[in-house]
Chain A
Amino acid sequence: MGSSRITFYVLLLTLVLAGLWTGPASAQGPTPTDDEVNRIAKQLYCPVCESTPLDVCPTEACRQWRDVIRTMLAEGKSEAEIKQHFVEQYGVRVLNEPPNRLVSYLVPAVAILLGAFMLFRGFQMWMKPSITESRSEDAKPEAQPAQDPYIAKLEEELKKRK
């Protein structure tokens, strides 16, 4: 009875040690799930299938790319490393955004700010009574289509709210 207990503990210790020993070898971890693969694949485009992200592209080539991602994830590679691998192989066009974000955002941001500035200046100019003439009632461009008197009333109400 005593010897069988000793045998059990020896076996347990052997298993634990074996587990520790094989630990580094299995640093690859379990096979990554499809969701883990897709999380990275979603951010990549293959050069052939334009406008179709890698995670949903049905072609054989894209399927192989996803397998590469799975293998690299299993090897313990990070998301950044995997993306860099594809960039080195196929160029920056595989990324779903230009690598230099500053340039890609700067131009529209400057254009929009310029537009906002011009609009603000426009407001200032329009609101200077000396520059523009007040428009008299007779100068209305053309007869408006028949307007419901209640609409006119509503418009008046909006003006008179105090």
Chain B
Amino acid sequence: MIANFGFGVLVISFLVTLYSVFAAIYGERRKIPAMVESARRAMLLTWPLLTLTAGVLIYLLVNNHFEVQFVYEVTSRSMPTYLKVTAWWGGQAGSLLFWSWLMSAFASLVTLRKWDRDREFLPWVIVVACVTMAFFIGMNVFFENPFAQLYQTFDGVAPHTFQPADGVLFTPQDGRGLNPLLRHPGMVIHPPMLYLGFVSFVIPYAFAMAALITGRTDDRWIRLTRRWTLWAWLFLSFGLVLGGRWAYDVLGWGGYWGWDPVEIAAFMPWLTGTAFLHSVMIQEKRGMLKQWNMILVILTYDLVIFGTFLTRSGVLSSVHAFAQSAIGPLFFGFIGLTLITSVILLFHRWSSLRSETQMTSMLSREALFLLNNLLFMSILVVCFWGVMFPLISELFTGQKVTVGPPFYERATSPLFAALLLLMGIAPLSAWGQSTVKTLGRAIWKPIVGAIVVTVVLFTTYTRNPGALVGFFLIALVILVTIYEYWRGANARQRSQDENIFTAFWNLTGRNRRRYGGYIIHLSMMFMAVGILGIEIFQVETQGTLEINQQMSVGGYDVVYQDIAQFPGPDGREVTRAVLGVYKGGEYLGELNPRIDYYYDAQQTMTIPGQRSTLRDDLYILLVDWEPVAATGATFKIFVNPLVNWLWLGSLLFLVGVVIAAWPEKDAERAAVRSKARIQQQTSAAD
């Protein structure tokens, strides 16, 4: 009954989004503002409707309604309540509903903004947002119904949306339980962040399409969506970082990023989104690259859908799984349809999107930003090819191949290094005009500083050429960023008679976008230190130890002290080892790597024991232990130097984006206020 109610509300949500699309188009075409307003209100209604649908699903999940197929597949009685709630996005049907729910929240937020100056965009923003939403809700209604119930018929037990004539409701005693890999606090935040990033990129795309349809192709749509884009980028970036942290803590292979197609699916829209964030600045400052910005926003939107398609259609397992999947071909069709429509619209407005100005120097900031775009797109090409190559190979040769980390690392490393170099140079080049001489004068001091840092590292830390090149580039970007801050704060300090800290604070406060961006650059360098550390300096060893035996790696001595097996709190059996950690004879503490066996899912999880410092991470896995033989236990030990700078950098990144996205004082409003104040003073004087 409750499940039927949930499905009913879902169907109503679907109809409301369709109504919103048609009302918006009809209202715009017939010039009936009331119809457009009705479409806006309908779009506003989707969020409460989908919240109600989600509420019903959560109720079913939390209360063990195993007669509902989705609940049966992703929960079990032994799971704690918070995991039953997060199981909402732990399966196909639920995650599609979660996508739609987040999308409706963002669509509602958009409709609540003031539209006075941009009324002509409204109907088309509604159309794009609601078509996207209708597609995802439609997936749930017609193919992946989270409320389908299990019925016993003569043919056996099967899920049905409506009760079959000969069917009797079937309620299993217990559910299968959530995939143990997803039973981690990281999974509570990681998918929502990623999905938030995905859905919020729909908004800039919707405005871009509105601009193309209406012909208002100036940079108004970019200004309106700048903050949206930044938040979308923040969510997506944070989603990626959290995914990395989850992999590091849960997957038990000593790393955070395995160039897995699912990871790459989320990374691809991030690449185009990052290129877009840089490229829009050229349009705002110089009136250039309007066509390119449109291409980037279209690509980002379709890569968002493509990412969801990759993870949801079964295409990654094999092209045959894709062909058998109900939603795979539909996703494919939707991507094709939106891409073709967008490209047609883009060509229709191509001439009105020409640059208003010319490139005057190949070393100007806009030229370097364009080069940065080329590098981001190059990394995208590598990623896209790496994901598609196994499918293409299977399709044309019948031979499935694996494209693993060596391909990506070899192909992207020089591109990432070039990006770092650009991050060091671009802030010191000027908009419009820069020459080798002007740039050289600006950059020589940071280069000398970076060389000094590299020499110090060469004598004290490493002689690895790759690492030294990486550290040189990182040092260059950090020094250039600090230099830029110092130049700005110093200029303020001299003119305003402020102390350096106040000058620094005011400078950042009054130019949030610029200096927030610099903080983001700094955070990226922290992350780069972490990536360089683990990629180049990681050491590992594996061995079987008996009690009180020790193993040494990377300067650490690890002594196997004890092992115990006991039942865990949520239906798992825990095998937990105790290892003493020493460095140079000094006792540092104990670590407890463990293996959790989940009875409901019949799956094991290898949870590492970790000791984290800014210098390195000692990361120990319990690989094997046979209770019968009990002669010893096998451990795999990693020492991951500098990896914690990656997580530290991600926190700084958050600060940078919040600063950059924080609303600037509106120039127009400030001008009006100051004018009013003058008038007030004048009248008071009279």
A-side interface residues toward B, CB under 8 Å? 33-35, 38, 45, 50-53, 56, 58, 63, 91-99, 104-105, 107-108, 111-112, 115-116, 119, 122-123, 126-129, 131-135, 139-148, 150-151, 153-155, 157-162
A96 and B411 contact, Cβ closer than 8 Å, known pairs A51-B261, A142-B223: no
Chain B's nearest CB lies how many Å from the CB of A113?
9
Query: Distance (Å) between the CB of A32 and the closest chain B CB?
Result: 12
Q: Is B491 an interface residue when CB atoms closer than 8 A count as contact?
A: yes
Tell me whether B406 and A92 are in contact (CB under 8 A): no
Contact of B399 among A92, A115, A146, A158 (CB under 8 A): A92
Given A141-B284, A153-B491: A35 and B430 within 8 A (CB)? no
Given A53-B253, A112-B378, A146-B664, are A158 and B442 also a contact pair (CB < 8 Å)?
yes
Q: Using C-beta atoms within 8 Å of the partner chain, give the interface range for chain B.
A: 35 or more
B residues in contact with A127, CB < 8 Å: 358-360, 362
A33 (CB) vs chain B CBs: closest residue: B543
Q: Which residues of B contact A93 (CB under 8 A)?
A: 390, 399-402
Determine the residue in chain B with the shortest Cβ distance to A96.
Answer: B404
Chain A residue nearest in CB terms to B226 = A145
Interface pair B407/A104, CB less than 8 Å apart: yes
**Contact indicator B488/A150 (Cβ below 8 Å):** yes
Contacts of A112 in B (CB 8 A): 378, 381-382
With A56-B252, A155-B430 already in contact, the answer to whether A123 and B670 are too (CB < 8 A) is: no
CB-contact partner of A45 in B284, B402, B487, under 8 A: B402
Q: In the complex, which residues of chain B have a beta carbon less than 8 angstroms from the beta carbon of A123?
A: 359, 362, 367, 370
Query: Would you give the shortest CB distance from A118 to chain B, in whole angstroms?
Result: 9
With CB as the reference atom, state the residue of chain B lying closest to A114: B381
A34 CB contact (under 8 Å) in B254, B511, B543: B543
Contact between chains at B507 and A159 (CB < 8 Å): no
CB neighbours of A111 from chain B (8 A): 378, 381, 385
Q: How many angstroms between the C-alpha atoms of A138 and B260 in the bound complex?
A: 50
Say whether B592 faces chain A, with CB atoms less than 8 Å apart: no
Cross-chain contact B542 with A38 (CB below 8 angstroms): yes
Do A98 and B495 touch (CB < 8 A)?
no
Q: Is B377's CB within 8 Å of the partner chain A? A: yes
Question: What residues of B have a CB within 8 angstroms of the CB of A147 in the complex?
Answer: 511
- How far is B360's CA from A144's CA once the two chains are assembled, in angstroms? 21
Complex Cα gap A108–B378 (Å):
8
A21 vs chain B, min Cβ distance (A) = 32
- Which residues in chain B, 37-85, are within 8 Å of chain A measured between CB atoms? none
Bound together, the chains give a CA A159 to CA B433 distance in angstroms of: 6
B514 interface residue per 8 A CB criterion: yes
A158 touches B428 (CB 8 A): yes
Chain A min CB distance to B314 (Å) = 12
Shortest distance between the CB of A71 and any CB in chain B (Å): 17
Contact A158–B357 (Cβ < 8 Å) = no
**0/1 per residue, B366-389, Cβ < 8 Å to A?**
010011001001100110010001
- Distance in angstroms from A116 CB to nearest chain B CB is 6
CB pair A96–B405 under 8 Å, yes or no, is: yes
Question: Would you give 26 A-B contacts (Cβ < 8 Å), ordered by A?
Answer: A50-B317, A58-B604, A63-B624, A93-B402, A96-B402, A98-B402, A105-B410, A108-B381, A108-B382, A115-B381, A123-B362, A126-B288, A127-B362, A129-B358, A139-B356, A140-B287, A144-B284, A145-B665, A145-B666, A146-B670, A153-B491, A155-B431, A159-B433, A161-B438, A161-B441, A162-B441
Report the bound CA distance from A158 to B238 in whole Å.
34
Tell me how far the C-beta of A115 lies from the nearest C-beta in chain B, rounded to whole angstroms.
Answer: 6
A157–B636 alpha-carbon span in the complex (Å): 56
Q: How far is the CB of A8 from chain B (nearest CB, A)?
A: 37
Instruction: Given the known inter-chain contacts A112-B381, A148-B511, please indicate yes or no for A97 contacting B359, CB distance below 8 A.
Output: no
CB-CB nearest in chain A for B253? A56
Report B326-364 residues with CB < 8 Å from chain A CB.
Answer: 355-360, 362
Could you list which residues of chain B lie within 8 angstroms of chain A, going by C-beta atoms? Answer: 218-220, 223, 251-254, 258, 260-262, 283-284, 286-288, 316-317, 355-360, 362, 367, 370-371, 374, 377-378, 381-382, 385, 389-390, 393, 399-407, 410-411, 428-434, 437-438, 441-442, 487-488, 491-492, 495, 507, 510-511, 514, 540-544, 595, 604, 606, 621, 623-624, 634, 636, 664-668, 670
Question: Is B287 touching A141 in the complex (CB atoms < 8 A)?
Answer: yes
B406, A97: Cβ atoms closer than 8 Å: yes
Given A139-B287, A151-B514, also A158-B404 (CB < 8 A): no
B403 CB contacts on chain A under 8 angstroms: 97-98, 104
Kindly list chain B residues whose C-beta atoms are within 8 Å of the C-beta of A99. Answer: 401
Cβ–Cβ contact A142 & B491, under 8 A: no
Known: A50-B317, A96-B406, A151-B511. A159 touches B218 (CB 8 A): no
Cβ contact within 8 Å between B385 and A108? yes
Q: A56-B253, A161-B437 are in contact. List 4 more A-B contacts (CB 8 A).
A: A33-B542, A98-B402, A134-B358, A146-B665
Closest Cβ–Cβ distance, residue B215 to chain A (whole Å): 15
CB-CB under 8 A for A151 and B317, given A53-B253, A104-B403, A132-B355: no
Cα–Cα distance between A97 and B406 once the two chains are bound (Å): 7
Q: Which B residues touch A134, using CB under 8 A?
A: 357-358
B434 surroundings in chain A (CB, below 8 A): 158-159
- A101 to chain B minimum Cβ distance, whole angstroms, is 8
Which chain A residue lies CB-closest to B400?
A: A93
Q: A52-B253, A58-B252, A97-B404 are in contact. Are A119 and B371 (CB under 8 A)?
A: yes
Query: Smallest distance from the beta carbon of A129 to chain B beta carbons, Å?
Result: 7
Say whether A132 contacts B374, CB under 8 Å: no
Contact across chains for B220 and A142 when beta carbons are under 8 A apart: yes
Chain A, residue nearest B365 (CB): A158
B residues in contact with A133, CB < 8 Å: 358
CA distance A37 to B9 in the complex (A): 56
Closest to B441 in A: A161
